A and B are shown apart, each in its own frame.
Chain A
């Protein structure tokens, strides 16, 4: 983990409520896709944990949805402003287990961390399939970005206004070696049941600190109590214990 003052390079809407922000500063604490940053906002006591969509040595990209006052405040920030970030939080995805044909399943703002994951898996020569799930066409983002990387992309929408009608689990391919997923908990549960391989799932919880100190985001797993912020947010399918 590192603390840094990042400069906003851009902050643009992707849909009505989803924004992409590019920030510049030392990103060396980020070591794996699926990790997150914790962002301090003026006038807000707790930081906002947001997953990393992509990063290079000097910049990082986050994608966030406006869901409350904090994220609304973020959406109004203009380029040139600075933000205090804690970076390199959480474990991130373990790429070594992917096999040759990993399947990536993202739902809504669970899609962003899969982008850097796909990029890294492709760089290792894997054949990457991606299923992106949204409620409706107006909410779809990053379909083209994943295609541009070289992934095979399927979009699902709950109302059928774009791609396959239904949920990500309605578009599962026949042949995949492993899965990686991030999205709302009902989707994670459905993916857990519908998949026939091992895999990794990224979880979300209200956090206090985001770096393992406060025990605010603990969960029970088959391998003991874990802190979603520090021991997660990524858990292996075999260790998950649903409530």
Chain B
């Protein structure tokens, strides 16, 4: 039985990847289980400068999901390299996915160039889809030309595979994915969170201080699956599927839709063992659906 897949030329023992922003730099989870059972993980979104992020409250609950408006809190790329990556290295011994965001094309290029030099970084996941920051993030991911410009700028200064993470808050995600592919992207990951909000009936004000935030959790799985299905048929580069994945069945469904690997986000926050449990459940679930090798089913539903 084969769980391994190949993501942009780098083998993964299995396709399960904790998504950026739900797994920190790994060590909170490494206290609970050996995180080397994961395919890899995408570490907390990193920017050129340190960021506190948005005011609190940043979190709201929904039916089958949650909204967050953290706003890319991170210590900045220099501290990530000098403090977080050495700690990460102690608990995780595989290539890791570096998630990068920015507020200008040159920001993205700078941060990616710095992280590209780090030995443990396997892939650069370029987030052009954060819904929680102004003047950056998602604004690069809603227009094909802007997404392509970021992709070109990053590709020009890096040697490692570049995976562009796309926003679902667009009219045509396929055209954006194709623009990134044409600009040299090695892979596409999708979807980031859906822009959403909640209002407190007592105060009659938005629950979240930033008013709106990114909606994630099982509720968005069908939307994510549909977009993975569409994008993976339109591009030749690998697609990493994510959005509401919380079980081994969801992983298999995402792969049938066309995902080469699968990220797991919100599920980590309510069950810190979610990714370990999914990896553990994959062999039995594969057997149930008569799957010999996971790599055989990628795009199987096309």
**Which residues of chain B are near A217, meaning CB under 8 Å?**
56, 58-59
A49 CA to B63 CA, complexed, in Å? 18
B136 to chain A, nearest CB (A): 17
Task: Indicate if the CB atoms of B70 and A46 lie closer than 8 Å.
Answer: no
Residues of A within 8 A of B (CB): 1, 3, 40, 44-47, 86, 205-209, 211-220, 225, 230
Chain B neighbourhood of A206, CB < 8 A: 56-60, 207
Nearest CB of B to A44, in Å: 7
B18-35 CB contacts (< 8 Å) to partner A: 21-24, 28-29, 31-32
Q: Is B66 part of the contact surface with A, judged by Cβ < 8 Å? A: yes
CB distance from A194 to the nearest CB of B (A): 25
A230 to B28, CA, bound (A): 10
- Report the separation of the CA atoms of residues A215 and B273 in the bound assembly, to the nearest whole angstrom: 18
- Please name all residues of chain B whose beta carbon is closer than 8 Å to the beta carbon of A215 when the two chains form the complex: 21, 44, 53, 58, 70, 73
CB contacts between A and B, total, < 8 Å: 86
In the complex, what residues of A have CB within 8 A of residue B52's CB?
218, 220, 225
B78 CB, nearest partner CB in chain A, Å: 16
Number of interface residues of B (CB under 8 A): 34
Residue from B28, B53, B59, B61 in contact with A212 in the complex, judged by beta carbons closer than 8 Å:
B28
Q: Given A206-B57, A213-B28, A218-B53, does the pair A47, B68 have CB atoms closer than 8 Å?
A: no
Closest 4 A/B residue pairs (Cβ)? A209-B269, A216-B59, A206-B57, A215-B73
Add 9 more A-B contacts to A206-B207, A208-B68 (CB < 8 A): A1-B272, A3-B271, A3-B272, A44-B61, A45-B270, A206-B59, A208-B66, A213-B29, A215-B73
CA distance A45 to B217 in the complex (A): 8
B73 touches A225 (CB 8 A): yes
Contacts of B73 in A (CB 8 A): 215, 218, 225
Q: Give A212's nearest chain B residue, CB to CB.
A: B28
| A208-B269 contact, Cβ under 8 Å, with A45-B64, A218-B53 | yes
Instruction: Say which residue of A40, A46, A47, A218 sits within 8 Å of B56 (CB atoms).
Output: A218
A130 shortest CB reach to chain B, Å: 30
User: For residue A213, which residues in chain B have a CB less than 8 angstroms away from its CB?
Assistant: 22-24, 28-29, 268-269, 272
Give chain A nearest CB distance to B44 CB in angstroms: 8
Asked if B65 CB lies within 8 Å of chain A CBs, one says: yes
Q: Are B66 and A46 in contact (CB under 8 A)?
A: yes
Complex Cα gap A215–B51 (Å): 12
Name the distance in Å between B24's Cβ and chain A's nearest Cβ. Answer: 5
Kindly identify, within residues 30 to 55 of chain B, every residue whose CB is under 8 Å from any CB belonging to chain A.
31-32, 44, 52-53
Closest to B21 in A: A214
Does A45 lie within 8 Å of B70, measured CB to CB? no
Alpha-carbon separation in the docked complex, A46 to B269 (Å): 8
Expressed in whole angstroms, the Cα–Cα distance for A217 and B208 within the complex equals: 12
Beyond A215-B21, A217-B58, whether A209 also contacts B270 by CB under 8 A is yes
Q: Which residues of A contact B68 (CB under 8 A)?
A: 208, 214, 216
Q: How far is the CA of A208 from the CA of B64 in the complex (A)?
A: 14
Tell me whether B62 is interfacial, beta carbon within 8 Å: yes
- Give Cα distance in the complex from A225 to B266, angstroms: 23
Do B272 and A86 have beta carbons less than 8 Å apart?
Answer: yes
- Does B70 contact A216, Cβ atoms closer than 8 Å? yes
Contact in complex: B56, A205 (CB < 8 Å)? yes
B198-235 vs A: 1/0 string, CB under 8 Å? Answer: 00000000010000000001000000000000000000
Known: A208-B66, A225-B52. A216 touches B58 (CB 8 A): yes
CA distance A212 to B217 in the complex (A): 18
Please give me the residue from chain A that is nearest to B73 by CB atom: A215
Chain B, Cβ-Cβ closest to A205 = B56
Q: Which residues of B contact A219 (CB under 8 A)?
A: 56
Name the B residues within 8 Å of A45 (CB-CB).
61-66, 217, 266, 270
Q: Cα distance A75–B269 when bound, in Å? A: 24
**Interface core residue of A1, A46, A212, A214 (most chain B CB under 10 Å):** A214
Chain A residue numbers with a CB within 8 Å of B268 are: 209, 213
Give the residue name and chain of the B residue nearest to A67 (CB). B202
B22 touches A46 (CB 8 A): no
Identity of the chain B residue whose Cβ is nearest the Cβ of A217 in the assembled complex:
B56
A-B contact pairs, 14 of them (CB 8 A): A1-B32, A3-B271, A45-B62, A45-B63, A45-B266, A46-B59, A86-B272, A212-B24, A214-B70, A215-B70, A216-B59, A216-B70, A218-B52, A230-B28
A contact residues around B61 at 8 Å (CB): 44-46
Most buried by B among A209, A212, A217: A209
